[in-house]
């Protein structure tokens, strides 16, 4: 999570890649330490706390619906 700050941050390379390819990539970021900060550009970024094999199911779900996790929470809350 802290990789996007400071002198060695890949921000310049990320922006150059986007410009060169005319892409707007989806970024999945994993917070393994529990820092709780999001330092990536915010568009198309998913910050996921922890890691297990289930994360691939979550990634697939989010690629089909950006608000999929919110919808799952609402299902539980609304019963």
Amino acid 48: pLDDT: 85
For residues 76 and 70, give the distance between their C-alpha atoms in angstroms, rounded to a whole number: 10
**Tell me: the pLDDT tens digits for 19-36?**
999 998 888 888 887 766
Domain count, the chain: 1
**Tell me: the pLDDT tens digits for 35-75?**
666 666 667 888 888 889 999 999 999 989 989 989 989 99
Range of the structural domain that residue 19 is part of: 2-78
Cα–chain center distance at 41: 10
**Tell me: the pLDDT tens digits for 1-24?**
666 667 777 778 888 999 999 998
Amino acid 22: pLDDT: 96
């Amino acid at each position: 999570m802290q990789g996007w700050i400071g002198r060695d941050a890949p921000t310049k390379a990320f922006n150059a890649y986007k410009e060169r390819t005319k892409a707007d990539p989806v970024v999945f970021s994993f917070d393994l330490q529990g820092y709780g900060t999001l330092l990536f550009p915010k568009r198309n970024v998913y910050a996921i706390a922890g890691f297990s094999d289930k994360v691939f199911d979550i990634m697939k779900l989010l690629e089909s619906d950006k608000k999929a996790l919110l919808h799952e929470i609402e299902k539980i809350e609304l019963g």
